[in-house]
Chain A
Amino acid sequence: MERDRSPIINGQPGGSVGETNRDGRTSILFALWLLPLLFLGLFYFYPLLKITALSFVRAEGSPLASTLSTLSAPRTRAVLWFTTWQAALSTIITLLIGLPGAYLFARHRFRGKQFLRALTSIPFVLPTLVVAAAFNALLGPRGWINLGMMALFDLNQPPVQFTNSIIAILVAHVFYNTTIVLRMVGDFWARLDPHLGDAAVMLGANRWQVLRKITIPLLSPAIAAAALLVFIFDFTSFGVILILGGPKFATLEVEIYYQTIGLFNLPTAATLAMLQLVCTLVLTIVYTRMSARLSRPLKIHSREITQRTPTSRTQKAAVALNVILLVTLLVTPLLGLTMRSFTRFGTAPRGQQVEQGFTLKNYTELNENPQGSLFFVTPAAAIRNSLVYAGATVLLAIMIGLPAAWALAREQGARINRWLDPLLMLPLGTSAVTLGLGFIVALDSPPLNLRASPVLVPIAHTLVAFPFVVRSLTPALRSIQPRLRQAAATLGASPWHVFLTIDLPLIGRALLVAGVFAFTISMGEFGATALVARPEFPTIPVAMYRFLSRPGAINFGQAMALSTILMAVTAGGMLLIERFRVADIGEF
């Protein structure tokens, strides 16, 4: 912990200024925390406390008794156990698949890399119902795989039972979250000095030793951060469990939804929501303690040095294998969806469904409004709405995430940081249903009567994006060598100037990662289903659900067309953000 402390706070340069500097630094620290805390206080802690208090007021008998009876119920224990083990298993598999991928993106140059990387992020934004449809096209009872195997082995029954199984949950979690590992670990890895490994090899170490003794220890802060985020996402999983897991599986989040919406049993729901929060908090405290020990200042390198084009046959084979794995797992389901959006089924005279070949009708008819519905939205307007919300989320998340990450990275030992750091992850561990109702009861009077305001949408998205921004930026900021800042400070640069000239350029890449996360989180509408919406501003997923909730072949086709549009817009947006990286902001 001490290692990373700024030398200045230890009173190094020019003894007598030490004390005033310390005061100055503390006030900088408070100034940095001001905006993030104001935001979280207003839009997270206040609504959450208010809905929790209100829920317990509704308890029959004492709130404490109600809490205890919920916590001691065998059902609660079973749900907590399932929630934990499926999240742990999902996280491990995600890491096993994501880490080789991260290595691929970090250390190699190959054609189509940017594009492949953007493709691997698309799953993150897809609504669960769409992902279910995608997997169904591949693995469902009449999916390609089952039909293929039935033809091949002459079977009467589809051999693979995918939906309503734990396998479906695990596969979907890996499908959704691998991008977190690819981005967070990959970008950190890309900046590590490959010569450390080369030197070790020259000293006689084998590859395994290099990996174990050098690469993994150096990467550990980024791996830990990615693992934490993936775990929390899996731990609070809702749509995947509900739709792909089926009725036999319930996580805490699913149970909270049922208790709140189905039964309107708010005290039980609040207790479960608290339980979920406490788990997130404990995990985050463990993580913050660990990561403080793990991170160390590093020499940062440009990709010019760290990345190479594969030359030898083994290298090429390794790259190819890795690419094939990622494409199979993350890209083929997307392809299935896209193909489905260009087909339409008709009804034959005897009532069978007949495929009618390639058609653009699912797309062109999106612009028609046959019923003259008031809530009709053109795809162009839906794209614009999604992009405006996403742009606002990127901006807001970075505006409040950057000062928080900076404060955390600069003064790890400071008490305020040790208290606040774990709290920053809480929004991710919070039940969306609970928080949605929290907004209703808390933000209900001017000037904050935001209950039905479109402004609440980017705010809600930012609550989810903010932990990502902080976790992407903090490892990068911590890895900046203090002597760079120290040198600048000694030369008379103000802290603001030090930030602008040292920190900001060095974290440019991490800033882009943070931006991509905020963008994708907003495009995927995390948690927004629990908000009261004004139907004038529907996003792409909202427009998609409008079709998917009705029976009829045309509606399904149009829903698939909108999903494909969502994928294309997301990939386009990410590639655009990544273009800034081509300029290599933040590198020497």
Chain B
Amino acid sequence: MNKRLQLLLVLTILLIGACAPSMGAPESPATGAAGETESTQTERQTLTVMGHDSVEVSETVVEQFEQRYNVDVQFLKAGDTGTALNQAILSKQNPLADVFYGVDNTFLSRALEERIFEAYPSPMLEVIPDRFELDPQYRALPVDYGDVCLNYDKAYFSELDLEPPQNLDDLTGAEYRGLLAVTNPATSSPGLAFLLATIGYFGEQDYLAYWEELVANDLLVVNDWETAYYGEFSAHGGTRPIVLSYGSSPPAEVYFAEEQPDEPPTGVVHEDGSCFRQIEFVGVLAGTEKPELARAWIDFMLSPAFQEDMPLNMFVFPVNPDASLPDVFEEHLVIPAETAAVAPETIEAQREAWIQAWNETVLQ
């Protein structure tokens, strides 16, 4: 009888063996662009770029860089923003990659304090507006930005002939009772950004009083953006017509619709600094063996070729004013005139205290 079992084991081993080469050999270059590079005799180098899970880029754009520098670009995805940054910090003695991309202004101070980057004053910074440059020592360079804003379901408000809210103050009104869903700043990155928006809007003295009013107005808090947007938002089958999301969500709703509507089904609450601007940064990881290539990659990321590729892949926007936006954004994107401002150093220093105070006010 056990012959069958032995046979089974052997078959399994063979099966695994047959499949394994397709993914084993971790040192083999990435597929795709790698094939076309027999032009030079020298060994092709690999540049490793580490980032969070939401990093996306078009294959043709990466190929431009690979061909120009005769290099393979290897990406590493390391979880959400916080997780990826922690992994970069804990591996700084022996870096996992040459470049780290995706730390945002809510985490910037942590990255700088832990000294994971080496300075690189890229010539590309000349064209980039100063308001994006938050590190005067050029260790972290701005790449993209996006606004965290409340979105509303247009159909809900037009059916009731109700004016949608314009700014954060409006939301405490009785007509918006029980309409708002946001996410927890302790577990969600837009949740933290929105808490910061209220701090920037009302000031450190008054933001908790505002949250108390929101709670009294039947606020709903969930832990993650997916649950808020796809579970609670009335535009996607929930019951709450106002939800925490991004300024880029309405154009995304148009772009990812079965038949593209003339206007987005959702709108953005953006007046008077009601949104928080997240800026994402890139830096050369200290200790890299390929600093030249790493710098070249950063220049490339700041050039229009990469900058113009970002909006449709990641729904974030170029910091380089020479990069133009795809049509769907030109038509439907609302970029707030002003956004709530909180300095990165203050965020890192106060994060725990703010979240705890929020916790005590909102959840208890």
Residues of A whose CB lies within 8 Å of any CB of B are 51, 54, 129, 132-133, 136, 140-142, 158, 163-164, 242-243, 246-248, 254, 257-258, 260-265, 344-348, 350-353, 356, 361, 371-376, 384-385, 387-388, 391-392, 394-395, 433, 436-437, 440-441, 444-445, 451-455, 500-501, 504-505, 508, 511, 529-530, 532-537, 545, 548-556, 580, 583, 585-587
Contact = CB atoms under 8 A, between A and B. Distances in A.
B259 interface: yes
B58 A549 contact: no
B96 A451 contact: yes
Contacts of B223: 242-243, 246-247
Contacts of B259: 346-347
Contacts of A346: 257-259
Most buried by B among A136, A257, A373, A385: A373
B42 interface: no
B54 interface: yes
Enumerate the 3 nearest inter-chain pairs by beta-carbon distance, A residue then B residue, closest first: A552-B256, A351-B155, A261-B82
Nearest to A508: B5
Given A129-B226, A385-B23, A537-B23, A353 B258 contact: no
Contacts, number: 245
Contact of B229 (A345, A536, A551): A551
B279 interface: no
A291 B257 CA distance: 57
Contacts of B26: 452-455, 534
B200 to A, nearest CB: 20
Interface of B: 1-2, 4-5, 8, 12-13, 15-16, 19-20, 22-24, 26, 30-32, 50, 53-54, 56-60, 62, 74-80, 82-83, 86-87, 89-91, 93-94, 96, 110, 153-155, 158-159, 184, 186-187, 220-227, 229-232, 235-239, 245-246, 249, 252-253, 255-259, 261, 265, 312-313, 315, 351-352, 355, 363
B76 A532 contact: yes
B86 A353 contact: no
B103 to A, nearest CB: 12
Most buried by A among B227, B229, B249, B363: B227
16 contacts: A140-B237, A163-B231, A242-B224, A243-B226, A261-B82, A264-B110, A344-B258, A345-B236, A374-B56, A394-B12, A436-B83, A453-B26, A454-B26, A505-B1, A534-B75, A586-B5
Contacts of B56: 371, 373-375
A256 to B, nearest CB: 12
A142 B256 contact: no
A549 B54 contact: yes
Most buried by A among B8, B79, B230: B230
B15 A391 contact: yes
A54 B94 CA distance: 15
A142 B230 contact: no
A352 to B, nearest CB: 4
Contact of A551 (B221, B249, B313): B249
Most buried by B among A164, A247, A391: A247
Given A243-B224, A537-B23, A374 B96 contact: no
B187 A556 contact: no
A494 to B, nearest CB: 15
A261 B351 CA distance: 12
Given A258-B187, A373-B58, A548-B230, A555 B222 contact: no
Given A501-B2, A508-B5, A533 B62 contact: no
Most buried by B among A264, A265, A500, A535: A264
A437 B87 contact: yes
Most buried by B among A133, A140, A374, A537: A374
A551 B245 contact: yes
Contacts of A388: 16, 19-20, 22-23
Given A453-B26, A454-B26, A534-B74, 18 more contacts: A132-B231, A163-B227, A246-B222, A247-B221, A261-B82, A261-B86, A388-B23, A391-B16, A392-B16, A436-B79, A436-B83, A501-B2, A504-B2, A508-B5, A529-B79, A530-B83, A534-B77, A550-B252
B235 A353 contact: yes
Contact of A534 (B76, B110, B222): B76
B258 A356 contact: yes
A543 to B, nearest CB: 12
